[in-house]
Amino acid sequence: MSITLEEEIFGLAVNPFTKSPEMVRRYTLKNSKGMTVSVIQLGAIIQSVCLPDAYKKVDDVCLGFDDIASYLANKGAYIGGTLGRVANRVANGEYTFNDTKVSVTKNIQDKFQLHGGFIGFDSVIWEVVQKSAEGVIFRHVSPHGHEGYPGKLTCLITYQLDNENRLWVRYEATTDRSTMVNLSSHAYFNLAGHGSGAKGLSEHTVEIASDQIVDTDELQIPTGKLVDVKDTVFDLRLPVLMRDRLMQFENRQIKGYDNCFVVNGGRVQKSVAKVAKIVHPPSCRVLEVWTDQPGMQFYTANNLTSIVGKNCTKYEKHGSFCVETEKFPDAMNHPEFPSISLEPNEKYRHDVLYWFKVEESWNCCCNNDP
């Protein structure tokens, strides 16, 4: 049986550029294993990911909302949203390129930029250029000067689902003058079910193939150093139980994980490689993250406070996780980091694969590649 696509109206949203209301559609891809993925035009957001567990119980494992108003009201949590032009932080909202200083908007305490500024890619209405069983392709043209960034940036995001329960996401971008690009996704997951909260997350084990994290200051701005994870709470090279690990953050300033882990040896790869594996043993659901990117921000929803999500469920602190594949934060201010600059003759590309599996414990040791 092949993949099917369903299209429906999700709601009305005001286009931040034209200020006029536009219809926002939802596209749902479904495979032969009963897995569905829904994406919406607002922010090219992943609105839902439903799949059965080992006992054939279907749950939505992706946090989100049932209506546009809730996405707008909770914009600051970036739930499910696309991050761009530049994901993560830009120190002092500025950078220098080719001896020219570029000032971008500072949307956090007038100190730095986060996730692209006041109107990031999570807040724009993406046009649909393809919708079929082969996948959904969204397009957004970010005008020259938007949020301070030079160049007209044309972006494509492709969402594809296959019958192996793999959700493939491809980001592409081209520009008409030198600029900076680092796109990512702020989807929040909980393999016990989107509404299972802190109890559900505490039952997960997390494994990240990373020897180092990007060192940051108290504002979470990179210092330029990479720090070894050995003998720290950030050593996730073997699976660790979230319940045990999150308790170790109680006396720290940041209460949980919100760090860019250096993966793939800190270099962009020619093809995707497995960088993380998250398991929820009670349901036997597994999420593997495969990417070609050098970094992955792992975040345990430390700042979520009682948001009402889909089906009137409460989303709470430490009740979900994000696995944001990316280049390193503030890379434009750190020449030693992998470059996020994009020239008119180049094409930005970023591939990530979310591979959802059900692994009963007796065959958890099987290792298979995509």
User: Is the pLDDT assigned to residue 3 strictly greater than 70?
Assistant: yes
Select from 162, 177, 167, 79 the least CA-distant residue to 354. Answer: 167
- Which member of 115, 140, 146, 186 is catalytic? 186
Q: Tell me if 366 is assigned to some domain.
A: no
Give strand pairing partners of 227: 213
Q: Tell me if 367 is assigned to some domain.
A: no
User: Is the pLDDT assigned to residue 328 strictly greater than 90?
Assistant: yes
The tokens describing 223, both together, are 């210092």
The pLDDT score that the predictor gives to residue 367 is 46
The tokens describing 202, both together, are 């505490």
User: Is the pLDDT assigned to residue 127 strictly greater than 70?
Assistant: yes
Q: pLDDT tens, 150-165? A: 999 999 999 999 999 9
Q: Tell me if 188 is assigned to some domain.
A: yes
Host domain of residue 266: 4-358
Task: Provide mean pLDDT across the span 127-131.
Answer: 97
The pLDDT score that the predictor gives to residue 305 is 86
Question: For 97, phi and psi rounded to 5 degrees?
Answer: -140, 130
User: Is the pLDDT assigned to residue 253 strictly greater than 90?
Assistant: no
Q: Tell me if 26 is assigned to some domain.
A: yes
Q: Tell me if 276 is assigned to some domain.
A: yes
Query: Contact at 8 Å (CB) between 91 and 7?
Result: no
Q: Tell me if 18 is assigned to some domain.
A: yes
Q: How far apart are CA 15 and CA 279, in angstroms?
A: 39
- Which member of 324, 326, 334, 350 is catalytic? 324
The pLDDT score that the predictor gives to residue 366 is 46
CA 248 from centre of chain? 25
Q: Which residues are annotated as a binding site?
A: 88-89, 186-188, 258
Provide the H-helix boundaries in 203-259. Answer: 242-247
Query: Contact at 8 Å (CB) between 182 and 340?
Result: yes
Question: Does residue 280 have an active-site annotation?
Answer: no
- 3-state DSSP call for residue 77? helix
Question: Does residue 318 have an active-site annotation?
Answer: no
CA atoms within 13 A on the CB side of 36: 15
Q: Tell me if 370 is assigned to some domain.
A: no
Give me the chain's average pLDDT, please. 95
Q: Which residues are annotated as a binding site for beta-D-galactose?
A: 88-89, 186-188, 258
Number of domains into which the chain is organized: 1
Q: pLDDT tens, 213-247? A: 999 998 899 999 999 999 999 999 999 999 999 99
The domain that contains 276 carries what CATH number? Answer: 2.70.98.10
Q: Tell me if 363 is assigned to some domain.
A: no
